[in-house]
Amino acid sequence: MKTEKDEPSDRPSRGGGTAERPEEGRCACVADHVLLEAPGPADGPRHGFLRSIYATADITHLQSGLPQYSYLHTMGSIQDLLDRDLQREKDGFPRKIRIARLIRPVKGGKDKVVVVPTTIEEKFYHDARIPEQQESNRSGGSGDGQEGEVVGEEPIHREQGAGSNGPGQGEGAQHEIQASLYDLGRILSNKFRLPNLKNKGKKRALKKYTYDLTDLNRGSGQVLDKKATLRRIIETNIVLERVPDVTAIDPSQLLVSPEDHVYRVFSKEKDYESQALVFFMRDYSGSMSGEPTELVVAQHVMIYSWLLYQYEGLVETRFILHDTEAREAPDFYTYHNLSIAGGTRIESAYRMINEIVEARNLDRDYNIYVFQGTDGDDWDSSGEKTIPEMRKTLRYANRIGITIACGQSAEGLTTTFEKYLSGLKAEFPDKLKIDVINGDAQEARLIEGMRHLIALSEGKRTWS
């Protein structure tokens, strides 16, 4: 119960949520998630690792009840806001709207995620993060225990994922995340002017329609379906008790009603021509741990979102992890989280992709994209095994987009993988794209890189 909101000016850390419900252990991480997902440093009222006292209000303090509507209803206004943001640039002011993902951790890893726009009102604020001091890590508490005693724990991983443009940890809950990734893709396409796949039906349409005489109609139509009509007549006559013995029917005795004529009619059939199959593959060996993985996965989730939007949900994804051997991950969550201390053979992953595609002739029905994340390291230093596998993939794939996320140590150097790829790159300039990013890249850089990976080739108007 409470007064009006007390945050006249300090709004960066706002966001509802339950911070103080002691009976539910999730509160701390919930709060952090919601906060950290908002871009930029949280300052002003936020102090300490929990929500500040100003973030509690009667309105948010007590919770129960059910959601009454979906935020999707407001997507129209997101569009308006993005338009406004574009206008800012024309007026000579920096853009302000960013996309945040709110994550509610749920037991079993199927976290719920929604995508929302967010912005920060920039002002002169005190920075709670003082170098050399850890005070911003302090908050209050109550209850028994000695000084120094640990009173609670919370997984570190969550925060890392959330704070660094992670993929959204909730990939498990397929339907929910799908819906919100679709929005993310839409926002990415519009806001960042990523190429739109569908170019008003020119060249390659996503769906094609075939016309066929498949639908049935009684009474009128183009072609009489004799078999169906006969069956219908007999049914009617059985009901009328004009067929005493079904084994010996006398056609001359049958009554024929006009309603019994069954016709085939001309109808439009949707035929999904170009569905997309996207392989996300990444190196999960020891050298990838930390930043490279975060960057690669963050970029992959954006690409995934974008494709989801472009193909209106008709995207199939396969997730492949490799060290010296490749394995398939069942979902994005596993894809994001697994790491192993092994060596690196990129060839293994391409071989696996080729096997998957060949086994079911997938290249016939699908547009196939491969997005690979790596730190550029490969044991196969000359590429003698990898290149043939990649060449095979390139034969059917629409695009192979490779993200090379360098660790800090390797910055500025050309990696093994890059070196032996140069020949192949010259051979398939349209199909093979490589983006090299540094360890400390920000979201904007990732989107820039993504633009490059999915960029149209010269002179092409649609992306294929």
Partner 1 sequence: MELISQHAKAIMEGCKKRACGAGLKFQTETLEYIVTNKDLIDLGPKNMIPTLYDYWVHDVELLKDKGTYELFPYNPYETVINTRPAISFYNDNNPDWLNVAIFYHVLAHIDFFQNNLFYRHTWDEDFTGQALSDKRTIAMLHAEKGRWVDYVIEFTRGIDNLVDYYSLMSEINRPETLKSTKRLDYYFDVFLQTIKKVSLTEYLKELDRYNDTVSQYGTGAESIFFAKVTKSYPEFAAMFEKKKKTERETRRDIIRFVEDHSSFLRKEENKWMTTVMEIVRKTSLYFQPQIRTKIMNEGWASYWHERLFLRDDRIKGNEVGYARVNAKITSLPRVGLNPYALGLRLFSYIEDIADKGRLSFDFQRLANINARETFDTKTGNGLNTLFWIRENMNDFMFINTFVDQDFVNKHKIFVAERRPNMEKGVWEYYIKSRNAEAYRKMLLDSLYHPPSIRVDEEKSQEGVLYLNHRFEGKQLVQEYIPNTMLGIEYLWGAPVKLETTEFVADGQPDAVEGSYYSGAGEKDHEQTYRARRVLYKMEKKELSKMLL
Selected range binding partner 1 among 34-42, 321-329, 339-347, 399-407, rule: CB under 8 A: 34-42
Minimum CB–partner distance for residue 164 and partner 1 (Å): 13
Question: 189, exposed or middle or buried, with CB in 10 Å at 0-12, 13-18, 19+?
Answer: middle
CB of 177 to partner 1, least distance (A): 12
Task: Tell the smallest beta-carbon distance from residue 80 to partner 1 (Å).
Answer: 8
Considering only residues 396-435, where is the footprint of partner 1 by CB under 8 A? 408
CB of 63 to partner 1, least distance (A): 3
Q: How far apart are CA 131 and CA 112, in angstroms?
A: 35
Options 113-121, 312-320, 321-329, 429-437: segment touching partner 1 (CB under 8 A): 113-121
Give min distance, CB of 197 to partner 1, in A. Answer: 26
Tokens 């979102």 appear where? 305
Member of 155, 219, 251, 429 binding partner 1 (CB under 8 A): 155
Q: In whole angstroms, how close is the CB of 148 to partner 1 at the nearest point?
A: 6
| Window 4-23: residues binding partner 1 (CB under 8 A) | 4-11, 14-22
The yes or no reply on residue 91 touching partner 1 (CB under 8 A) is yes
- Both tokens of 155, joined, read 């997984």
Q: Can you say whether the dihedral through the CA atoms of 125, 126, 131, 134 is positive or negative? A: negative
Question: Can you name the residues that pair with 278 across neighbouring β-strands?
Answer: 317, 369
Can residue 24 be called a binding residue for partner 1 (CB under 8 A)?
no
Order of strands across the sheet with 315-322?
326-329, 315-322, 275-283, 366-374, 399-405, 432-437
What is the closest distance, in whole angstroms, from the C-beta atom of residue 31 to partner 1 in the complex?
A: 8
Q: Which of 13, 36, 47, 447: binder of partner 1 (CB under 8 A)?
A: 47
CB atoms within 10 A of CB 67: 6
Helix 27-37 / helix 156-163 crossing angle, nearest 10 deg: 20
Packing angle of the helix pair 386-396, 416-427 (nearest 10 deg): 40
Rounded distance, CA 156 to CA 63, Å?
Answer: 27
User: Which residue of 86, 109, 110, 119 would you call a contact of partner 1, by CB under 8 A?
Assistant: 119
Residue count, binding to partner 1 (CB under 8 A): 113
Judged by CB under 8 A, the residue of 24, 69, 227, 426 near partner 1 is 69
Selected from 13, 24, 79, 84, the binder of partner 1 by CB under 8 A is 84
**Could you tell me which residues come within 8 angstroms of residue 250 by beta carbon, excluding any fewer than 6 positions away?**
none
Applying CB under 8 A, which part among 51-59, 187-195, 254-262, 380-388 lies near partner 1? Answer: 51-59
Residues 6+ apart with CB under 8 A from 268: 209, 210, 211
Torsion of CA 293, 296, 301, 306, to 10 degrees: 180
C-beta closer to partner 1: residue 7 or 328: 7
In the bound state with partner 1, the residue whose beta carbon lies nearer, of 59 and 238, is 59
Applying CB under 8 A, the span of 62-70, 219-227, 241-249, 455-463 interacting with partner 1 comes to 62-70
Query: In DSSP terms, which residues pair with 403 in a beta bridge?
Result: 373, 435
- 2 part of the interface to partner 1, by CB under 8 A: yes
Q: Does 51 bind partner 1 (CB under 8 A)?
A: yes
**Span from 109-117, 245-253, 351-359, 446-454 in contact with partner 1 (CB under 8 A):** 109-117
Nearer to partner 1, 132 or 241 (CB): 132
The structure tokens 């500025």 sit at: 412
> From start to end of 226-273, where are the E strands?
262-272
Beta carbon of residue 18, minimum distance to partner 1 (angstroms, whole number):
6
Can you tell me the distance from the alpha carbon of 110 to that of 199, in angstroms, rounded to the nearest whole number? Answer: 36
Among the listed residues 86, 89, 110, 154, the single contact to partner 1 using CB under 8 A: 154
- Site mask, partner 1, residues 306-345, x = CB under 8 A? ----------------------------------------
| Interacting residues with partner 1 between 263 and 292 (CB under 8 A) | none
Distance of CA 70 to the CA centre of its chain: 19
The C-alpha atoms of residue 89 and residue 97 are separated, in whole angstroms, by 12
Q: Is residue 107 near partner 1 by the rule CB under 8 A?
A: no
| CB-CB neighbours of 97 under 10 Å | 17
Picking from 1, 9, 137, the residue whose alpha carbon sits closest to that of residue 56 is: 1
- Degrees (nearest 5) of the Cα angle 107, 112, 113? 145
Q: Is 185 in the site for partner 1 (CB under 8 A)?
A: no
Nearer to partner 1, 143 or 459 (CB): 143
Instruction: Kindly identify the residues of this chain, within the stretch 124-153, that bind partner 1 according to CB under 8 A.
Output: 124-128, 130-132, 134-135, 137-153
Q: Which of these ranges, 39-47, 206-214, 333-341, 446-454, lies near partner 1 under the rule CB under 8 A?
A: 39-47
